[in-house]
Structure 1
């Protein structure tokens, strides 16, 4: 749009006023048509009102005065009627009305410009790329961060084809088809997507992209508003982390495999050595050696369990709790274990046996000679509560709060490294339950501990499992 300068406007007004004076003279002395020429006066009045608002009123008074003065100057006062005075008043009214409307329009225009500038400032300070792409693929608007991210100046992007200048060639056609389908259907693509873009230097960046369709006249889709956050560094860091994680797991697998092989060999030799030795002292040393090997095996097992817990989301399914408990009891044929339960299904996974391995194993391992372990299962409202209690030395009150914390030891000289109970808590919470430790007899912590935890009961009806030998 061509902008008329102030000097040019003034020159046009002077020319129109001069033409008005000439027409006054010409129509009164040559054509002899009276005030017909005065219709021309509306042009300078309206233009002055549009350009300078209420400054048009003096112009209207000047031209009105010219109409009245022409009758006296050319000796025809007989034709000066009420209509002439009304015409003068019309000039003034039109000047005032047009000036008022022009002032209102200018005010609205200023508001629109201020809002536009404010929005532009918001877009410029935003830490994301923001772009408006027309239906013909050309760029209508791009913010400052977008220009900096892509390496272009704003004027180098406005009006250019977005897909040809920004989108990588490998994905250009597919992205154009998606864009055209969204514009044609008037429906934005839901969710965030990872879209690559190419900078001016040829570097490919990955943006977390979102867009929405912008409606034009008649609510017809006219453009697409898109925003993108540069996540290239995050994607690369995640890839590097996955590679490092895979490499670390490889090393752990190798170490676990080799250590377990070494432990198996050491156990075999310790059994042979125990058969060869005769003195009680020597046999006690072999038992301690075997105990150390067993602890090494437990550590490897705990590390493997934690890896499985951390590596993937739980895939729960109905699990026969009765079978899990009986299988664990069968591993301790010499222990005094009382089981009070009945067939019930819970929602868990293949790691559920680890819970009972740790709780029953700890009760036997750290209890006094002749310790008795009792396992009780009770069904509640949507949950199953399991209690594993023993008659061992118990857990002091000062230790209870942090007992399930990683590497928290008990107070007994025979206490372990604390990983077992930490894993137990992780597993129970993984299934949606809670675990706590209490006194077997309330108020007497030294007379045994009671570990209580809940598991979500499976909503499916009970189906008896095939009959098998139970321990």
Structure 2
């Protein structure tokens, strides 16, 4: 709707007043009628009141005076109370319409102020805001949205959202989803990816969320949505995913080839060991095998760390006794005492790595005759496992950092500390904790006691029936 300028309004009122004067003259002087066609006078009075409020009162007084004066000049004997009443009515109408106009303009200004305030809020937001009507047309879009899409505001308002901004392959599906949301008066919850096409033809991916707008009658009037540009993030994530997959491929190839090389090296070392007698050569073979074993351990640690970072934290009930027995069986030459106790804990398939690292640690750093004891203690909500050995122990100065990544070990034969770091990472992921004590309190030289806790599973497992020749709590011992 075209808005009249101030000059145009003044010209209209002056024209209407001139017509009023002419009609008064024409009816009294030419037609010699006692009645003036005064209903026409309400038009300039009402228009003046709508446009300039109280300024309509002087116009009403002028027109009322025009009626009275004209009657006095041309036919004074016909002047009646009705003429004075009509003049007074002009003034009353001017006051009433002016008052209503002031109230209406006040409300319009308040609505405009609130709308401008909302528009400023939307304009300073760092995301796209848009209101889409039930007819799919764009009713509102903020400044950032225009900049993001490459359009001016007037180029978007009134345009079909889907035809203008949604990629062709997704257009009909998005249109149906929009109509379904309007029909059920509820949009899909949460954020979702929402591709849009800019004016230049580039496709952007928005993190989109929206809600249905309703009017006073609770009928849907459209949808207001907001979208943050996540195109760069999505592309970066895709690049990282490809790089991660490529790195894993290289690691898989490397692990496979190194394990094959280690197996061949160990095979030839075993053959050499059987053909060589005691002496310097045999000691060299032993060191060669120790180096290959170290390589195997490194590969195993790398594989475990990959498995740690490639899965979400999701624990499940695990039979602690079965895991402990399986790892004891991997050390047939070690002196390991284990008081068997079947108990369920919350962990996952990597729990075996904890026992492998701690038992292997005791075997590696202990003397040939080192003795290892595994104990399990239960409480209402957790299980405590202790792996004690009669090895050289852990100095007090080393204990606080023993489980840190790449922390120095407890003696000159210590590795890079990855095994204990993996152990701590796993235990903490399960919701427990791990620490090291002296096997004999206050005497580190008498051996170490590695302890860790695990959440107990809700259902206690029934212990397996022992063999006929076993006691109720069999003692599992591996001897050379």
TM-score normalised to structure 1 length:
0.90
Cα distance in 2, alignment partners of residues 32 and 444 from structure 1: 131
Cα distance in 2, alignment partners of residues 435 and 97 from structure 1: 85
Cα distance in 2, alignment partners of residues 449 and 75 from structure 1: 129
Cα deviation for residue 277 of structure 1 reads: 2.6
Over 3 Å counting, the alpha-carbon distance change for 1:371 and 1:256 in structure 2 is same
Aligned pairs (5 A) from 1:43-442? 43-74=43-74, 76=76, 79=79, 81=81, 87-216=86-215, 218-368=217-367, 370-442=369-441
Cα deviation for residue 448 of structure 1 reads: 3.2
Over 3 Å counting, the alpha-carbon distance change for 1:80 and 1:427 in structure 2 is same
Cα distance in 2, alignment partners of residues 411 and 377 from structure 1: 25
Cα distance in 2, alignment partners of residues 14 and 148 from structure 1: 47
Question: Which secondary structure state, in structure 2, belongs to the residue aligned with residue 397 of structure 1?
Answer: coil
Cα distance in 1, alignment partners of residues 32 and 451 from structure 2: 116
Cα deviation for residue 373 of structure 1 reads: 2.4
Asked whether the equivalents of residues 341 and 378 of structure 1 are also in contact (C-alpha less than 8 Å), the reply is no
Asked whether the equivalents of residues 378 and 384 of structure 2 are also in contact (C-alpha less than 8 Å), the reply is yes
Cα distance in 2, alignment partners of residues 133 and 466 from structure 1: 70
Cα distance in 2, alignment partners of residues 449 and 102 from structure 1: 92
Asked whether the equivalents of residues 34 and 78 of structure 2 are also in contact (C-alpha less than 8 Å), the reply is no
Cα deviation for residue 420 of structure 1 reads: 0.3
Over 3 Å counting, the alpha-carbon distance change for 1:465 and 1:149 in structure 2 is farther
Asked whether the equivalents of residues 71 and 80 of structure 1 are also in contact (C-alpha less than 8 Å), the reply is no
Question: RCO higher in 1 or 2 (8 Å CA, sep ≥ 6)?
Answer: 2
Cα distance in 2, alignment partners of residues 427 and 384 from structure 1: 15
Question: Which secondary structure state, in structure 1, belongs to the residue aligned with residue 452 of structure 2?
Answer: strand
CA-to-aligned-CA distance 1:240-293 (integer Å, 9 cap, x gap): 222211111111111111111111122122222222333433322222221111
Cα distance in 2, alignment partners of residues 195 and 165 from structure 1: 14
Cα distance in 1, alignment partners of residues 148 and 113 from structure 2: 26
Cα deviation for residue 150 of structure 1 reads: 2.9
- Per the alignment, residue 6 of structure 1 pairs with 6
Cα distance in 1, alignment partners of residues 150 and 14 from structure 2: 50
Over 3 Å counting, the alpha-carbon distance change for 1:202 and 1:16 in structure 2 is closer
Over 3 Å counting, the alpha-carbon distance change for 1:87 and 1:391 in structure 2 is farther
Cα distance in 2, alignment partners of residues 180 and 455 from structure 1: 52
Cα deviation for residue 446 of structure 1 reads: 4.0
Over 3 Å counting, the alpha-carbon distance change for 1:219 and 1:27 in structure 2 is same
Instruction: Specify every segment of 5 or more residues in structure 1 that has no aligned partner in the other structure, as ranges.
Output: none
Cα distance in 1, alignment partners of residues 451 and 460 from structure 2: 25
Asked whether the equivalents of residues 68 and 80 of structure 1 are also in contact (C-alpha less than 8 Å), the reply is no
Residues matched between the structures, number: 469
Cα distance in 1, alignment partners of residues 50 and 203 from structure 2: 52
Cα distance in 2, alignment partners of residues 234 and 284 from structure 1: 57
Question: Which secondary structure state, in structure 2, belongs to the residue aligned with residue 188 of structure 1?
Answer: coil
Cα deviation for residue 398 of structure 1 reads: 3.1
Question: Which secondary structure state, in structure 1, belongs to the residue aligned with residue 242 of structure 2?
Answer: helix
Moved more, 249-258 or 154-163: 154-163
